[in-house]
C-alpha cells in the first residue's frame, strides 16, 4: 500500500475564487450567503443562496469553450488550474498515461438543462444548440479537465447527491494507495443556482428562507451554494522525491449505505462510515481533533450527525471540535465535500479551525463543541470530513498533518 498526499488544491466558491481567499474567509468567519440573482427569482419562495460573485467566465474562457462549458465545468477547470499549478506536476509520458480524474457532481449541467427547457417549453422554440448534450452531461467537467491537462488514466464522474465529492475523492485515494495511479486529480463541482434548480429544492420544504445555522437551536433548514474544489492526490514517495509541497496526507476513508430511507438520515449509517474511516486509517479515535461536519442546518441532519459522532467517539466526542462551514459557503451539494476538505487541510496544516457561523443558541441535541462563530487556533493532527447524502449514501475521509 502506498501513502497518499495532497500536493495541490484549488477552488472557486462564494467565499473566494482561490484557496487562499477561501481560507481567509473561513478564518474570518465571513458569510457568502446573500440574495439570489438570476432570471425569474421573483417566482421563488427561497431567494437566498451562496452564489459565486464577480465572476465573468467570458474573460477566462474563449467563445468555443463557452459553447461547451456549463457553469459547473467552468468552476471545475478554474479550481483544477489552481490545484495543478500548485502541485507543479506536468502530465507527460507514463505519468499522463496512468493518472486520471475522478470528480463528483449531483446535477451536472443543471443550468444548461434549465436554459434549454425554457427555450423549447416557454419560448416555444423547436431547435436547441448542437452542444446541449455534451455541455450538460455529468462527466463533461471530468472530460474537459482530462483534455486540458493531458490526463489519460482512469477518468469518470460519480454522483451520490451531497456525498458525490467525498465518494469521488475516496475513489481517487484508493487508486493512488493501491498503486494503480501515481497521481489523481479529484474533487467535485456543482452549479444548481438557477430557477429550475432552486425550484426543485424548494419543493422539498427543507430550505431556509433566512440563514444556514448548523447545530444552533431554531435552525430552519439548508441553504444552497455553488462552486468547485479540486485536489491533486499523489503518491508520497513520488511527491517527496520531486520536492513537492505537501498540504496533508490522506490516510483513510469509508463508505456506507443506510439502506433505510430516501431522505431521512440514519445514525447507524453515519456511525459506520465514521468508524470505518478510523479503521481504514488505522488510527485511534482520540487522535481525531477536528471533524468538518456534514452539518446542513436541517433539524434531522444535525442531531443525527451529533448522535453518530457521540456514538463513535464516546468521551472523546466532548474533546474534539466539529464545525460546519456550510454556514459560510452554504451547501454545494455534489461539490460540497471538496470545498469542505479545505477546512480540514487548514486545521491540520495551519492549526486553524473554521467556525460554524450564525450560531445563536445551543441545541441540547447537538451538544458538541461546534466552534461557534469564531475561528480557533488549535493543534490538530488528524481531521475527518463527513458527507451524508440523500439516498442514505455516506462517505467519510481522514487526513493527517505531514
Partner 1 sequence: MSVKDRVIAIIAEQAVLEPSDVTMDSTLEDLGIDSLGLVESIFAIEEEFDIAVPFNANEPTESDFDISNVAAIVAGIEKLVAEQA
Residues 367 and 364: their CA atoms lie apart, in Å, by 5
144 is catalytic: no
Residue of 294, 306, 329, 366 with catalytic role: 294
Residues 331 and 348: their CA atoms lie apart, in Å, by 23
Residue of 17, 31, 144, 162 with catalytic role: 162
Stretch that binds partner 1, among 75-83, 93-101, 214-222, 315-323 (CB under 8 A): 214-222
Is residue 206 a contact point for partner 1 (CB under 8 A)? yes
Q: Which of 192, 85, 242, 98 is nearest to 148 (CA)?
A: 85
Smallest distance, Å, CB 205 to partner 1?
4
Strands 100-104 vs 227-235: parallel, antiparallel or unpaired? unpaired
Closest CB to partner 1 among residues 133, 204? 204
Is residue 45 a contact point for partner 1 (CB under 8 A)? yes
Smallest distance, Å, CB 298 to partner 1?
5
294 is catalytic: yes
**Residue found by looking up cell 467525498 in the block:** 166
Residue of the chain from 208, 271, 304, 356 that contacts partner 1 (CB under 8 A): 208
Smallest distance, Å, CB 301 to partner 1?
10
Beta bridge partners of 156: 102
Closest CB to partner 1 among residues 138, 298? 298
Residues 109 and 261: their CA atoms lie apart, in Å, by 27
Is residue 200 a contact point for partner 1 (CB under 8 A)? no
Residue of the chain from 64, 262, 315, 379 that contacts partner 1 (CB under 8 A): 262
Tell whether the torsion through CA atoms of 362, 363, 364 and 367 is positive or negative.
Answer: negative
344 is catalytic: no
Task: Write the binding mask 84 to 103 for partner 1: x where contact by CB under 8 A, - elsewhere.
Answer: --------------------
Residue of the chain from 85, 204, 259, 279 that contacts partner 1 (CB under 8 A): 204
Is residue 223 a contact point for partner 1 (CB under 8 A)? no
Is residue 259 a contact point for partner 1 (CB under 8 A)? no
Centroid of chain to Cα 123: 35
Phi/psi for 144 (5° steps) reads -65, -35
Residue of the chain from 60, 97, 128, 299 that contacts partner 1 (CB under 8 A): 299
Q: Are 178 and 236 spatial neighbours (Cβ–Cβ below 8 Å)?
A: no
Q: Are 362 and 218 spatial neighbours (Cβ–Cβ below 8 Å)?
A: no
How many residues sit in the footprint of partner 1 (CB under 8 A)? 16
Beta bridge partners of 74: none
Stretch that binds partner 1, among 146-154, 292-300, 377-385, 389-397 (CB under 8 A): 292-300
Residues 179 and 34: their CA atoms lie apart, in Å, by 44
Is residue 264 a contact point for partner 1 (CB under 8 A)? yes
Counting beta carbons within 10 angstroms of the beta carbon of residue 17, is it exposed (0 to 12), middle (13 to 18) or buried (19 or more)? buried
CA gyration radius for the chain? 20
Closest CB to partner 1 among residues 148, 202? 202
**Residue found by looking up cell 454545494 in the block:** 332
Is residue 205 a contact point for partner 1 (CB under 8 A)? yes
Inter-CA distances, 269 with 42, 254, 305, Å = 39, 11, 10
205 contact partners, CB below 8 Å, separation of at least 6: none
Stretch that binds partner 1, among 146-154, 261-269, 315-323, 389-397 (CB under 8 A): 261-269
Which spans of this chain sit near partner 1 (rule: CB under 8 A)?
A: 45, 203-206, 208, 218-221, 262-264, 298-300
Q: Supply the residues annotated as catalytic.
A: 162, 294, 331
Amino acid at each position: 500500500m502506498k501513502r497518499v498526499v495532497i500536493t495541490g488544491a484549488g477552488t472557486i466558491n462564494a467565499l473566494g475564487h482561490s484557496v487562499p481567499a477561501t481560507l481567509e474567509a473561513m478564518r474570518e468567519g465571513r458569510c457568502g450567503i446573500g440574495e439570489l440573482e438570476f432570471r425569474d427569482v421573483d417566482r421563488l419562495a427561497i431567494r437566498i443562496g451562496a452564489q459565486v460573485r464577480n465572476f465573468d467566465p467570458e474573460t477566462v474562457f474563449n467563445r468555443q469553450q463557452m459553447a461547451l462549458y456549463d457553469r459547473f465545468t467552468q468552476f471545475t477547470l478554474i479550481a483544477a488550474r489552481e490545484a495543478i499549478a500548485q502541485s507543479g506536476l506536468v502530465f507527460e509520458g507514463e505519468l499522463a498515461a496512468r493518472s486520471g480524474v475522478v470528480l463528483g457532481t449531483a446535477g451536472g449541467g443543471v443550468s444548461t438543462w434549465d436554459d434549454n427547457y425554457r427555450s423549447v417549453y416557454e419560448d416555444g422554440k423547436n431547435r436547441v444548440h448542437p452542444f446541449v448534450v455534451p455541455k450538460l452531461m455529468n462527466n463533461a467537467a471530468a472530460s474537459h479537465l482530462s483534455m486540458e491537462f493531458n490526463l489519460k488514466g482512469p477518468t469518470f464522474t460519480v454522483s451520490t447527491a451531497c456525498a458525490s465529492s467525498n465518494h469521488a475523492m475516496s475513489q481517487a485515494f484508493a487508486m493512488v494507495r493501491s498503486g494503480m495511479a501515481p497521481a489523481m486529480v479529484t474533487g467535485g463541482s456543482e452549479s444548481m443556482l438557477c430557477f429550475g434548480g432552486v425550484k426543485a429544492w424548494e419543493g422539498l420544504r427543507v430550505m431556509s428562507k433566512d440563514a444556514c445555522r448548523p447545530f444552533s437551536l431554531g435552525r430552519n433548514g439548508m441553504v444552497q451554494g455553488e462552486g468547485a474544489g479540486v485536489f491533486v492526490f499523489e503518491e508520497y514517495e513520488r511527491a517527496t522525491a520531486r520536492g513537492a509541497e505537501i498540504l496533508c496526507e490522506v490516510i483513510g476513508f469509508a463508505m456506507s449505505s443506510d439502506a433505510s430511507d430516501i431522505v431521512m438520515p440514519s445514525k447507524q449509517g453515519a456511525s459506520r462510515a465514521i468508524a470505518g474511516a478510523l479503521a481504514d486509517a488505522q488510527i485511534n479515535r482520540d487522535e481525531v481533533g477536528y471533524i468538518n461536519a456534514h452539518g446542513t442546518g436541517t433539524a434531522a441532519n444535525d442531531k443525527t450527525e451529533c448522535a453518530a459522532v457521540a456514538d463513535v467517539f464516546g468521551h472523546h466526542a466532548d474533546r474534539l471540535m466539529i464545525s460546519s462551514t456550510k454556514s459560510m459557503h452554504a451547501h454545494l451539494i455534489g461539490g460540497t465535500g471538496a470545498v469542505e476538505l479545505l477546512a480540514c487541510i487548514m486545521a491540520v496544516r495551519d492549526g486553524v479551525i473554521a467556525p460554524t457561523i450564525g450560531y445563536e443558541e445551543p441545541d441540547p441535541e447537538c451538544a458538541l463543541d461546534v466552534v461557534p462563530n469564531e475561528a480557533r487556533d488549535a493543534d490538530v493532527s488528524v481531521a475527518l470530513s463527513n458527507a451524508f447524502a440523500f439516498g442514505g449514501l455516506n462517505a467519510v475521509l481522514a487526513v493527517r498533518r505531514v
